[in-house]
């Protein structure tokens, strides 16, 4: 094991996969000179030269060109700068990238990764702070991964690059400087598999991305109060790992879900529905979802603080179930 930041973990994944497969290349805004807006691509141009490409401010063309390049035999990794910008190129993601393999009868997969830094950071407000993974849960044909720590960041990015399907890779902006242990050598994390981070017996708490780290804190608080929490890091939003969640709920009889995104229509709603459909009999209490209120992300410190999910809010939600 070694201790590196989330950002360094993604960089290692890129370096290893680009050395392994010369079809892999990177395109996005502010990559070559700046190393990406969050420095997550720093140093890649030195080693890989023309395989690291600065684009115009044209998100539509970035994603569309990535799809086209993938169809022509390359394996692009496109950077979205901020996940909020997916709205600019939504058609390229959901009508082209997601559908081409299926609607053309499996002639050619769209083997590409779209990296999208998401989440709250520095009071960036309404258009630079969102968590939008739920949009893509609703789109057949995409895979959506969302790591919460450096080891998963590396392992999931490597798996995403090797996957023949189009993969959206959400990386939380607050996580980039966060340090954690990453296994030495080849490290792959399977897509579509949630992880039981900690076993518990009273309640299942499902979370992911930055909020997973808040969920861990909430669980520590609750443990002191005598509530044993089973923690599941979802890691992949689509395809959703129903089995891990259902088998945990069968054991604990309670389900809570915590995510940074708006609660209404969030991934938590889908998880709740699955458990209600398939394991209602197991539940001893109504499901609790902890998610952001139904507003855009506000700017002022007081408002953002009221908006954001905290360990205290997660713990309070769970106390109410017991």
Partner 1 sequence: MCAMPERKEAVLPLTGYDREALKFFYETMVKIRNFELTVEKYFFEGEIPGFVHLYIGEEAIATGVMANLRKSDYIQSTHRGHGHTIAKGADLKHMMAELFGKSTGCCKGKGGSMHIADFSVGMLGANGIVGGGFTMATGAALAQKMQKTDGVSVAFFGDGASNRGTFHEAANMAAVWKLPVIFLCENNQWASTTPYLTTTSVADIADRAQGYGMPGVIVDGNDVFAVYEAAKDLIDRARRGEGPCILECKTYRIKGHFVGDPEMYRTKKEVQQVLEETDPIPRFEKKVLDAGVMTREELDSIAARVNKELNEALEYARTSPEPEVSALFEGLYV
Catalytic residues: 128
CB of 162 to partner 1, least distance (A): 11
Site stretch for partner 1 (CB under 8 A), options 2-10, 137-145, 153-161, 228-236: 137-145
Cβ distance to partner 1 smaller for residue 162 or 198: 162
- Write out the binding residues for partner 1, residues 151-190 only, by CB under 8 A: 163-165
Cβ distance to partner 1 smaller for residue 9 or 161: 161
Q: Could you give phi then psi for residue 118, rounded to 5 degrees?
A: -125, 180
Site string for partner 1, 32-71 (x = CB under 8 A): ------------------xx---xx-x-xx-xxxxxxxxx
- Contact between 114 and 145 under an 8 Å Cβ cutoff? The reply is no
CB of 84 to partner 1, least distance (A): 18
* Residue among 48, 263, 17, 308 nearest 154 (CA): 17
Cβ distance to partner 1 smaller for residue 73 or 226: 73
DSSP for 157-224 reads: HHHHHH-SS-EEEEEEGGGTT-EEEE-SS-----TT--EEEE--SSEEEEE-HHHHHHHHHHHHHHHH
Report CA-CA distances (Å) from 1 to 180, 188, 235: 10, 14, 20
How many Å apart are CA 19 and CA 30, to the nearest integer?
22
Cβ distance to partner 1 smaller for residue 50 or 302: 50
CB of 68 to partner 1, least distance (A): 3
User: Of these, 21, 91, 284, 312, which contacts partner 1 (CB under 8 A)?
Assistant: 91
Task: Kindly tell me the burial class for residue 68, based on how many C-beta atoms sit within 10 Å of its own C-beta (0-12, 13-18, 19 or more).
Answer: middle
User: Of these, 6, 25, 82, 85, which contacts partner 1 (CB under 8 A)?
Assistant: 25
Q: Does 143 help bind partner 1 (rule: CB under 8 A)? A: yes
Helices (H) and strands (E) in the chain, counts: 12, 14
How many Å apart are CA 210 and CA 56, to the nearest integer?
30
Site stretch for partner 1 (CB under 8 A), options 5-13, 126-134, 138-146, 168-176: 138-146
- Contact between 320 and 312 under an 8 Å Cβ cutoff? The reply is no
Cβ distance to partner 1 smaller for residue 90 or 250: 90
Task: Compute the chain's Rg from CA coordinates.
Answer: 19
- Contact between 99 and 166 under an 8 Å Cβ cutoff? The reply is no
Site string for partner 1, 198-237 (x = CB under 8 A): ----------------------------------------
How many Å apart are CA 248 and CA 204, to the nearest integer?
6
- Write out the binding residues for partner 1, residues 95-114 only, by CB under 8 A: 95-96, 100-109
Strand partners, 233: 195, 207
Cβ distance to partner 1 smaller for residue 95 or 305: 95
Residues that bind partner 1 (CB under 8 A): 25, 50-51, 55-56, 58, 60-61, 63-74, 76, 91-92, 95-96, 100-109, 140-141, 143, 163-165, 239
């Amino acid at each position: 094991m070694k201790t590196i930041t989330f950002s360094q973990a993604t960089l290692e994944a890129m370096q290893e996969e680009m050395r392994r497969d010369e079809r892999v290349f990177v395109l996005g805004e502010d990559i070559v000179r700046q190393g990406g807006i969050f420095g997550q691509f720093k140093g890649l141009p030195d080693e890989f030269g023309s395989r690291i490409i600065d684009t115009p401010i044209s998100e539509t063309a970035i994603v569309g060109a990535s799809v086209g390049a993938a169809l022509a035999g390359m394996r692009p990794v496109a950077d979205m700068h901020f996940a909020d910008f997916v709205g600019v190129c939504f058609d390229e993601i959901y009508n082209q990238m997601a559908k081409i393999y299926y609607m053309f009868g499996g002639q050619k997969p769209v083997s590409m990764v779209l990296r999208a830094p998401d989440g709250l950071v520095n009071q960036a407000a309404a258009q630079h702070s969102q968590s939008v993974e739920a949009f893509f849960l609703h789109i057949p044909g995409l895979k959506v991964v969302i790591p919460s720590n450096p080891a998963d960041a590396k392992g999931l990015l490597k798996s995403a690059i090797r996957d023949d399907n189009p993969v959206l890779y959400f990386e939380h902006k607050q996580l980039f400087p966060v340090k954690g242990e990453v296994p030495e050598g080849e490290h792959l994390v399977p897509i579509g598999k949630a992880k039981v981070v900690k076993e518990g017996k009273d309640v299942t708490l499902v979370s992911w991305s930055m909020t997973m780290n808040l969920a861990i804190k909430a669980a520590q608080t609750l443990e002191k109060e005598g509530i044993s929490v089973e923690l599941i890091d979802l890691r992949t939003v689509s395809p959703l790992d129903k089995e891990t969640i259902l088998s945990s709920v069968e054991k604990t009889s309670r389900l809570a879900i915590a995510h940074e995104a708006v609660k209404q229509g969030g991934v938590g709603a889908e998880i709740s529905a699955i458990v209600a459909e398939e394991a209602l009999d197991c539940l001893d209490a109504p499901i609790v979802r902890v998610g952001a209120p139904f507003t855009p992300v506000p700017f002022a410190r007081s408002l953002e603080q009221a908006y954001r999910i905290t360990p205290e809010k997660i713990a309070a939600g769970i106390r109410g179930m017991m």
